[in-house]
Structure 1
Amino acid sequence: LATAGGDLPFLFRVEREAGPQKSKPSDRSFKVRLQDGETWVESVAEVRGDSLYWPFPVFESVLVAAVSTLGDSLNGYWYKTKYDTGSAVPFRAHRGGQYKFASRSTRLPDEVGGLWSGDLGPGTTALLPLIQKGPELSGTVRTPYGDYRYLTGLMDGDSLWMSGMDGGSAYLLRGRLEENGTLQGMIYSAKGPGRPWTMERDSNAVLPDPYGMAELRGAERPLTFQLRDINTDTLVRPGPPARATVIQMLGTWCPNCLDETEYLASIYPDLASQGVQVIGLGFERTHQPTKAIQNLRKLQARYSVPYPLVHAGKPDSLSILTVIPQLVKLKAFPTTILLDSTGRIRYVHTGFDGPATGPAFDLQKKKFQQKILELLGNSIN
């Protein structure tokens, strides 16, 4: 991808779908596997005319690229949709690439593995946990509101190069180890001018407690709403007779929301067996309710979501206040609200540490389970 900071590389594999051997490429679909950290995310693409059409799972984004005559390169655009308006990022790819970045330095890579803490642009505290094996780097950027998912790359002498692309977001992280021991550089998304960052080594650095960031008013009142399930059209309500309720505020446009959805879907059978209700409130970046429901259904199918999902409006203050009037201001998606057996808000968790954060992800799961046990222990049902 072409960004203001230069090329943002990512790796993917294209394989033919099974089918009649005599079929033309234009009549065939392809399996595409996008590298996302140590995993490969599979989707399906197809050739339309002379172009590859590759829609990404769940996200409202698609990669459209012309196939070269020899079939060894692609040139086109990555299209993203936000509030029904598209944006395009130039894209090109070549067959045979195994590495995202090439080493140019004649010196050994500096050692930067470990935890770094600092600012990601003005007013944004961030952590940069890095794992280094020789020149190879992996890690992510953590903020109080979530993480930048899987970033991989290399240390080339004193220069840091990392990138990540998941179909919904894409980041290029460039930096240098300065003589004073700090890491300094720029981070670029697919669009925009980029932001400066500075980090210092700090093995004890922590982010604010995600359970202490939300501000509530009228929390003594039970949370009440009724919204229709996107599939059954039945009314979904929080609170009794459930012993506890998990309210997930999400959007299909939000990568960390997908991480949380996958986690909640995996533990839902255990939660349900203990009388815990889970409701997903979808706040979609579209003015079309029908399209919003389609997006949520794609999410539901992708992660086999067993709990009810409802369309709660757009991710703006009016929609949020209408559904959750006790929440003074939503600071991040996802935000997860835990209700006791009477329907009152007991805990609010801001943001989500996804699998890319490693130990932070594991600690978050442990604390969540502890909160659930506390609610069940105090249940009057």
Structure 2
Amino acid sequence: MIIRDILFYLIAINLLIFSCDKAKDNTVKEEVAVTKWRATITNTHQKDIPFYLTIKGSGDKQVWTVINGDERMVLDEVFYENDSLHIPLLIYEAELVVKVGAETINGQFVRNGAYRLPFQAKKGGEKRFPKGAKPTVDFTGTYAVKLGKTDAIGLFNQHEDYLTGTFLTATGDYRFLEGSVSGNKMFLSSFDGVHILRFEGELEGNTIVNGKMWSGKSRTEDWVGINDPRAALPDPTTLTYLKEGFDKFAFSFKNQEGKTISLENPEYKDKVVIVQIMGSWCPNCLDEAKFFVPLYDRYKAKGLEIVGLSFERSSEAEKAYKRINRMKEKLDISYEVVYAGTPKQTAQALPMLNKVMSFPTSIVLNKKGEVAQIHTGFSGPSTGHYYEDYVSEFTSLIDELIQE
């Protein structure tokens, strides 16, 4: 009797352990279920802008991740409305509205209040661009570029038929581009949640010819480039400055609580202050904020303050602050960001500046409230050593001003 009871007990324990292990295995499999897709947005020229994405989970628990080179854009706020799945694109006024099938996804890329374009995705490991001829050239290098009427620098890195790159201009960069090479021709594309970009060009000797860019709904530009390791752009610290007759930078805006925010406030007195001219609609501004957030954490106790002046597309403060607050939450911004008007109102809001030619623009003030530097634009992580150099030089400037 005792032996039988012991055997029964041991069998029960083993069944329980087996059952728990099986449940645990099922849970693990569910957590790591990720599918890969090749997606396209088609512009009005019937040109596809391809990109990769992965989808994890199901239903309204899905997490979409858009992939452009080394960049990962995680979209985790999906929801169903009627029979369509909505995927809000970070903090931008844009979304994907789709119907998901077993092997395909169909729907639209929606720029709220602007336009809609067809969106499609197919499950599997298809290449970003269709595989073409074996490459006969290598695009790797730095190029002096004329993009329409704009001077730019092209940065490309090729490994066999795989190509990544970006373009820098005086006002910012084109972020992470990814694609391929077929014969002597390049294909690059990017989708960052608000911009849809496609570039093509042919390398003849050291020159890129027959270059074409497609941007947004319908914009196109021709471009050319010459391989030139010494390619340069104007110094970004010389483009925006105080106009004659003004000896200091100043502003005064109400925050959401109705408090007046200005450089005369006690929290900015005798501090090194960075004024960030920005907008929640601007990817380069978000890249800059991602740099400023840890910089502020590092130097706040030593005497650094940052204040953002956000120029939003809405002329209504209540709507604008919804965008600003969403941006602050997404990026963990702990410094003050105030609504300063619309992008067309920069001259009225900041009359002491010659112009605001780029979002973002950062104004650095020393402890006396004097302008130490005005930096136009932002070269983000996609620009490699240009970004690294900027981070090093800007951090050194803040360090020096704090020690004064």
Contact between 1:162 and 1:172, CA under 8 Å: does it hold in 2? yes
Inter-CA distance 65–309: structure 2 relative to 1 (3 Å threshold):
same
2:285 pairs with 1:252: no
What's the CA shift for 1:180? 6.5
Contact between 1:120 and 1:195, CA under 8 Å: does it hold in 2? yes
Name the residue aligned to 1:110. Answer: 137
Inter-CA distance 94–49: structure 2 relative to 1 (3 Å threshold):
farther
For 1:11 and 1:115, the matched residues in 2 are separated by 26
Residue-pair matches, total: 359
Inter-CA distance 92–133: structure 2 relative to 1 (3 Å threshold):
same
Kindly provide the amino acid, as one letter, of the partner of residue 7 in structure 1. D
Following superposition of structure 1 onto structure 2, how do residues 1-381 of structure 1 map, counting pairs within 5 Å?
A: 1-3=41-43, 4=45, 6-16=47-57, 25=59, 28-44=60-76, 45-68=78-101, 71-81=102-112, 85-105=113-133, 107-122=134-149, 124-178=150-204, 181-218=207-244, 221-230=247-256, 232-238=257-263, 240-316=268-344, 319-378=345-404
For 2:352 and 2:309, the matched residues in 1 are separated by 15
For 1:49 and 1:169, the matched residues in 2 are separated by 27
Q: Deviations over 1:310-359 (max 9, x none)?
A: 0001011xx32343221011111000011122323231100000111111
Contact between 1:29 and 1:47, CA under 8 Å: does it hold in 2? no
Inter-CA distance 220–345: structure 2 relative to 1 (3 Å threshold):
farther
What's the CA shift for 1:228? 3.0
Report the secondary structure of 2:357's partner residue: coil
For CA contacts below 8 A with separation 6 or more, give which structure has more relative contact order.
1
What's the CA shift for 1:220? 5.2
Kindly provide the amino acid, as one letter, of the partner of residue 33 in structure 1. T
Report the secondary structure of 1:212's partner residue: coil
When you count helix as a share of all residues, which structure comes out higher? 2
For 1:55 and 1:79, the matched residues in 2 are separated by 10
Contact between 2:68 and 2:176, CA under 8 Å: does it hold in 1? yes
What's the CA shift for 1:111? 0.7
Contact between 2:347 and 2:356, CA under 8 Å: does it hold in 1? no
Inter-CA distance 218–109: structure 2 relative to 1 (3 Å threshold):
same
What's the CA shift for 1:98? 4.5
Inter-CA distance 179–360: structure 2 relative to 1 (3 Å threshold):
closer
Determine which structure has more spread, i.e. the larger CA radius of gyration.
2
For 1:66 and 1:217, the matched residues in 2 are separated by 53
Contact between 1:145 and 1:350, CA under 8 Å: does it hold in 2? yes
Contact between 1:115 and 1:201, CA under 8 Å: does it hold in 2? yes
CA RMSD, 1 decimal: 1.9
Inter-CA distance 247–307: structure 2 relative to 1 (3 Å threshold):
same
TM-score of the pair, normalised by structure 1: 0.89
Inter-CA distance 160–218: structure 2 relative to 1 (3 Å threshold):
same
Report the secondary structure of 1:140's partner residue: strand
For 1:273 and 1:247, the matched residues in 2 are separated by 18
What's the CA shift for 1:369? 1.8
Segment drifting more, 221-230 vs 34-43? 221-230
What's the CA shift for 1:179? 5.2
What's the CA shift for 1:219? 7.0
Contact between 2:202 and 2:209, CA under 8 Å: does it hold in 1? yes
Q: Deviations over 1:133-184 (max 9, x none)?
A: 1111111111111001100111111110000111021210111113574343
Inter-CA distance 221–350: structure 2 relative to 1 (3 Å threshold):
same
Q: Any stretches of 5+ residues in structure 1 without a counterpart?
A: 18-24
Q: Any stretches of 5+ residues in structure 2 without a counterpart?
A: 1-40
Kindly provide the amino acid, as one letter, of the partner of residue 289 in structure 2. T
TM-score of the pair, normalised by structure 2: 0.84
For 2:83 and 2:185, the matched residues in 1 are separated by 39
For 1:57 and 1:181, the matched residues in 2 are separated by 38
Q: Deviations over 1:162-221 (max 9, x none)?
A: 001110212101111135743431011121241000000001111111001114215753
Inter-CA distance 368–114: structure 2 relative to 1 (3 Å threshold):
same
Kindly provide the amino acid, as one letter, of the partner of residue 260 in structure 2. L
Kindly provide the amino acid, as one letter, of the partner of residue 351 in structure 1. G
Contact between 1:252 and 1:299, CA under 8 Å: does it hold in 2? yes
Identity %: 28
Kindly provide the amino acid, as one letter, of the partner of residue 43 in structure 1. L
